[in-house]
Structure 1
């Protein structure tokens, strides 16, 4: 009999979320993490705008004749401008940065809501399919969760290609992107090196570089992989490889 967990369309993403749900200590911690992440971004943008745009630095450092004539101690409320004054004197670049920040925050909000809905589904899977209650999760290792996941495969048929799964099957799906990256480096297709004068070659595999690499290879609309894990058919044809490489 099929259950609502049977035949997962994107088993890679499903297993990754199961792993992250355990590593992030459950649904409540994930909710707090998403909320604090959104609040943190608002604080950083607001504080940066305040420092850059809303502080009267000539008055603070007494660099104008008017400020030098002030004999009393300058209070902080005199230095910080009101929101109306900040908006009135705001530079064009600052306004553009704020607009981009708002757009990015809305994107993060939508992504957070999507993640929470996905993890709520994972929470139900833990409770119903794996028989792991939220209070029991902190006391369980990933190995124990994985053993129950292997048992759940026999009951719920998460993967349609195999009747049973092994630990290696799960690890290969969890580390699929990393395995591709390691293979690219080992084959010399992607040498993560920079040549610096005097110093010579150094290994450079920054977070920004990895993000752009994954965007090109896995996430982008023109990436070789369909649905992030399945190689497109045209890339399997040997005669088209040279044309596709261009």
Structure 2
């Protein structure tokens, strides 16, 4: 009920209501505004990540198509900063990836051959079987379990997706400061991609997370940036190999 106007009370509201408005309502309104701003920012970030995932999916499909045409992974050279250059025959020039650490190879390429070509050692190599991934949790659990011994990041006690993502982000940051070769086996080929959208999406999510970690370390600690390579072994349709010239 409105309070009567008096010389000491120039508003039509009671002292209790005025106190509530000042001490409770205004702070609550500020919190609501802040939460609304955070929600809008989260939506923008979700949209940005969706767009990045879509671009990575397109790039991965381009890699798959290149590999299925019979172009092998060649030895990669290094520039003065020891950063990777994408192998010329691994990616079409018009679809070259920004990521200098992303490669593809044909089915059955020996791990030892990839280690020699990219100059990594067995103790810095991690192999992951994409066909075992049914959901994002499976991917991160396997990723954390198979980390090279040189990295002390392990999977969390809780296997909730958010906890797994946090642990994976920490691990990727450490990996980008060191040396690591990731080989993803059994990535669906172009013919299988339509029937295996989950696998393609999960590969894109892993590539996006590695890209994010690489960019963060490169921006904040360029001197600490290490060497990382992600190699996709694409399941190609069997065909006659082109003759070498």
TM-score w.r.t. length of structure 2: 0.30
In terms of fraction of residues, the more strand-rich structure is 2
TM-score w.r.t. length of structure 1: 0.30
